């Protein structure tokens, strides 16, 4: 029997249930796009683009290989750009043109990319969390991308969240059972929050 996972959607119309969008793979992440678009990433390395108002699958795209994509994030300032972290060590930035996704930028990492987060106030900044326990903050530019590395975790970084009020503050969750609070201006860790008894995964 095939493994069928359902992606549920709310039409945001006074709680009216809009329907079920079926896929043929486990889904690891979802992200709201502009209008009625929602994107999902799958265990088979696919990015699925849905129109939840129908609801229908309008595009299926595999940015690299058939291997899990763990995180997906639309740019909040340029919603033609969608970032994904791949199992084969890439940050892939995809571009939405009409109803089709294409590869826009590829940034190689030393290992699996788990966490990704666009900066909420600067469309050129994106952060990643990697299997190698490091955070990388990229400033994207046509003249050449720059990167700073943040070191302080001792196991893979699974998720990342920017502080919505302070542009230079970033939080990370890690399999070392801690939450890291970082100052991206200085590249230093401000606090390491301890007390969890297992891997820390979700963070918002």
Q: What are the tens digits of pLDDT across the range 147-176?
A: 999 999 999 999 999 999 999 999 999 988
pLDDT value of residue 202: 74
Among 95, 72, 101, 85, CA closest to 135: 85
Q: What are the tens digits of pLDDT across the range 42-86?
A: 999 999 999 988 888 999 999 998 999 999 999 999 999 999 999
**Sign of torsion over alpha carbons 25, 26, 28, 34:** positive
Among 8, 6, 10, CA closest to 26: 6
pLDDT value of residue 3: 42
Across the chain, what does the average pLDDT equal? 88
* Sequence-distant (≥ 6) Cβ neighbours of residue 77 within 8 angstroms: 118, 120, 121, 122, 123
Cα(146)–Cα(39) distance, integer angstroms = 28
């Amino acid at each position: 029997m095939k493994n069928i996972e359902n992606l549920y959607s709310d039409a945001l119309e006074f709680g009216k249930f809009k329907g079920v969008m079926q896929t043929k793979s486990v889904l690891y992440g979802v992200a709201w796009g502009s209008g009625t678009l929602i994107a999902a990433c799958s265990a088979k390395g696919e990015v699925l683009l849905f129109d939840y108002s129908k609801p229908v699958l309008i595009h299926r795209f595999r940015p690299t290989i058939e291997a899990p994509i763990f995180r997906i994030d639309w740019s909040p300032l340029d919603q033609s750009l969608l970032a994904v972290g791949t199992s084969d060590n890439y940050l892939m930035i995809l571009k939405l043109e009409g109803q089709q996704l294409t590869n826009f930028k590829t940034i190689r990492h030393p290992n699996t990319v788990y966490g990704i987060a666009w900066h909420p106030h600067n469309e050129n900044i994106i952060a990643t969390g990697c299997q190698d326990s490091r955070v990388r903050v990229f400033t994207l530019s046509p003249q050449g991308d720059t990167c700073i590395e943040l070191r302080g975790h001792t196991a893979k970084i699974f998720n990342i969240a920017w502080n919505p009020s302070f542009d230079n503050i970033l939080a990370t969750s890690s399999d070392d059972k801690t939450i890291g609070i970082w100052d991206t201006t200085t590249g230093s860790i401000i606090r390491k929050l301890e007390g969890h008894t297992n891997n820390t995964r979700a963070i918002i």
